[in-house]
Structure 1
């Protein structure tokens, strides 16, 4: 198939951020498909085209940063809609695949699909629009109405929908019973993280403040929704009760300066908490290999519990337990398989005590590490989930081809009947 793949935040392994689209697109190419990726390049002043692992990538100069206000982000989304629609409309394809966030990618996706009379498959990465409403991004009745209309329109235009978690799929099915939804969560790249232990050992040797001390790692976005101040406050409790435990916050985002100020005020910055900049996907392997516990935290917004955080599946791939501070499917997964900890959402003192007890129990750590890696191997292996992903795309394309062929045969039959009766 010729596939046009639209993702505003596409990342390669040399960049910081999730690489789901890169890994799935690369595998599509390896399976013989032709893939054109349309994405934004926030640092560019002109469009360019490159080839990444066989993927033809169309980079568009669209500013975006997590530190932007909601209003500026909206303008970024709309700018990408216009530019990507122009590029997608020129491409020849058999299928269009559009992945949110933002959900506005459905607009250029639907336009490109309609222009070539091919199906669109839409991937949903957030509970939309419940999440932006809960986060305060959509406050006015008009914006909420428009978001609901966009969602309904996008689903009607999609041959199939992929959701990244059971909660997202349930939300869609509850409100749109006729939509065909398949869950394909984020995945664990066991090949990439197969060298995590050795890379982690080198990182520990080269980092004097770490050495052989216990390490809790947060690697991800530092946005409002992520609620990483929870870890800063937990570090303040650990500084008094278990000062050898190190917490590393690795990433960037709107709340970075606020987190630094809070850590300095609580007296933990560069003491037992270290705020480091973002690193590439390839470089983050060493940090997961060095850590004893990976953290995935969110602000206290129930809708965030349906998310599918990359950092969780990276931790599983490295064979590392995960600690979360929220309810939802990931918390249920961790509890059900013994692959880490579910921490109290509002009590960082109790969280610090639970983390300290866990890290101080070598047998519990070994058991949780084995359980985490078993999840990576048996349920979330990237190659395994890519098979589900490709199957959705293939079925969407085949269904449309069969429907069109059937319509063609019906039309031809009708013409023959008409001619016969006329004669």
Structure 2
């Protein structure tokens, strides 16, 4: 089967962003399918291509599949208007590829929601069936955060309606996201969560930590976006409140809020910032950390509508997790248990949880063992990739 995989933010493990589409494309290729993955240039991503662009695109073989990269830069530091323009430019280039190539099936992975546009156009003009994957529900999340306008949300609702109703199947990363797909009219919805890369992360990885961290520090690491949705000002306040002098917090990543966070943290000796790290380097950092940090802004919709990759990385690394996320993430951490959960928006609670784990290495070790066990038993990405392939083949 010839599959066109549309994911604007694709990255290999050489980059600093999520690698789900890399793992799924590789699994499809291993099953004998001919996969073409079309992406843009996402900040922090590494597509595996290094040659020059010709007429705004370059292509080549990555692992066992073909990658077509369009020269459409996009990143969290861009303003909303600039990002919207990047979304539409990618959709236009991807539509041209979908209409000119010979494919049996398209797989459109959102976000952004605009990735559905080329899939819908190819379905209308070429009768190309497609599968729609929801990795973040739009417009539900932007609307819950107050980002955008009623007119924009209305337009995105109509696009989500069309994508969910016309797709052969919808793949959602959580049951909460699956409910949004059903509300948009999807008939066949399958839940396939994010998974753990047990080869890349784990106790077998040599530990590493940056020179700014004292050798005897208890290191709590957050690795992810620094945007409004992440609410990282809570970690800045928590760092100011912790009492254990050995405890240090490290925030790794990039985003629109990073400069403001650094200004807020001025004078705090136990809070540090790093630029995004390639996944291979991040694996060493997590091996050299004692706690994983999961933080989100106090938005009620986040309880069931998010599925953070960083949480899977922490579990795979065998780290106890401190999180302020209710709902799905809280249930996951309570199973084992493999972490501590504090109420959303409660920076003092975050500080108290961090102090409690810093003072109790035996408890940290027990929670970390439970985290790795859960990663191996429930979230092994290889098993989830097999399920993904089966769903794609059945839908086709």
Alignment of 1:209-228 (within 5 A): 209-228=213-232
Q: CA deviation at 1:18?
A: 0.6
Q: Structure 1 residues 150 and 198 mapped into 2: Cα distance closer, same or farther (>3 Å)?
A: closer
Equivalent position to 1:155, from 158, 161, 164? 164
Please give the secondary structure, in 1, of the residue aligned with 2:56: coil
Residues 167 and 82 of structure 1: is their aligned pair in 2 closer, same or farther, counting only changes over 3 Å? same
Q: Residue 42 and residue 167 in structure 1: after superposition, are their counterparts in 2 closer, same or farther (change >3 A)? A: closer
SS of the aligned residue for 2:293 comes to: strand
Q: Return the alpha-carbon distance in structure 1 between the equivalents of residues 75 and 212 of structure 2.
A: 33
Query: 2:206 is paired with a residue of what secondary structure?
Result: helix
Alpha carbons of 1:220 and 1:208: their partners in 2 closer, same or farther (altered >3 Å)? closer
Shift of 1:198: 4.1
Checking the alignment, whether the CA contact within 8 Å between 2:170 and 2:181 is kept in structure 1 is no
> Structure 1: how far apart are the matches of 2:65 and 2:86?
24
Q: Which residue of 1 aligns with 2:287?
A: 289
How far apart are the structure 1 equivalents of 2:288 and 2:214? 9
Q: Greater CA radius of gyration, 1 or 2?
A: 1
Q: Paired residue for 2:19?
A: 19
Q: Which of 259, 262, 265 does residue 263 from structure 1 map onto?
A: 265
Matched residues, number: 385
Distance 1:209 1:312 in 2: 22
Q: Which residue is equivalent to 1:402? A: none
Aligned counterparts, 1:124-273, within 5 A: 124-139=134-149, 141-173=150-182, 175-176=183-184, 179-194=187-202, 196-200=203-207, 203-204=208-209, 207=211, 209-238=213-242, 241-264=243-266, 267-268=267-268, 271-273=269-271
Corresponding residue of 1:408: none
Cα deviations by residue, 1:44-75 (Å, 9 ceiling, x for unpaired): 78211121102211111113121122222111
Q: Which runs of 5+ in 1 are unaligned?
A: 398-423
Counterpart of 2:30 in structure 1 is 30
Shift of 1:177: 5.8
RMSD: 1.7
Find the residue that maps to 2:282 and give its secondary structure: helix
The aligned counterpart of 2:278 is 280
Query: What is the match of residue 68 of structure 2?
Result: 58
Q: Give the secondary structure class of the aligned counterpart of 2:73.
A: coil
Deviation at 1:375, TM superposition (A): 1.4
**Aligned pair 1:331/2:326, yes or no?**
no
1-side partners of 2:100 and 2:231: how far apart? 41
Query: Does the CA-based 8 Å contact 2:322-2:353 persist in structure 1?
Result: no
CA distance in structure 2 between the partners assigned to 1:208 and 1:135 by the alignment: 35
In the TM superposition, structure 1's runs of 4+ consecutive aligned residues that sit over 4 Å from their partners are 42-45
Is 1:388 the counterpart of 2:391? The answer is no
Q: C-alpha deviations, 1:320-359, integer Å up to 9, x for none?
A: 1222112120111112331101023233223211211122
| Cα distance in structure 2, aligned partners of 1:341 and 1:42 | 33
Conserved? CA contact 2:164–2:181, under 8 Å: no
Normalised to the residue count of structure 1, the TM-score between the two structures is: 0.87
Do the aligned residues in 2 keep the contact of 1:122 with 1:162 (CA within 8 Å)? yes
TM-score, normalised on structure 2?
0.93
Could you tell me whether the CA contact under 8 Å between 2:205 and 2:283 is conserved in 1? no
Cα offsets for 1:213-262 (capped at 9, x unmatched): 21100001111111111111111112xx1121011101111111011101
**Structure 2 partner of 1:97:** 107
**Preserved contact between residue 320 and residue 368 of structure 1 (Cα < 8 Å):** yes
**Aligned CA distance change for structure 1 residues 346 and 90 (closer, same or farther; 3 Å):** same
CA-CA distance at 1:170 after TM superposition: 2.3
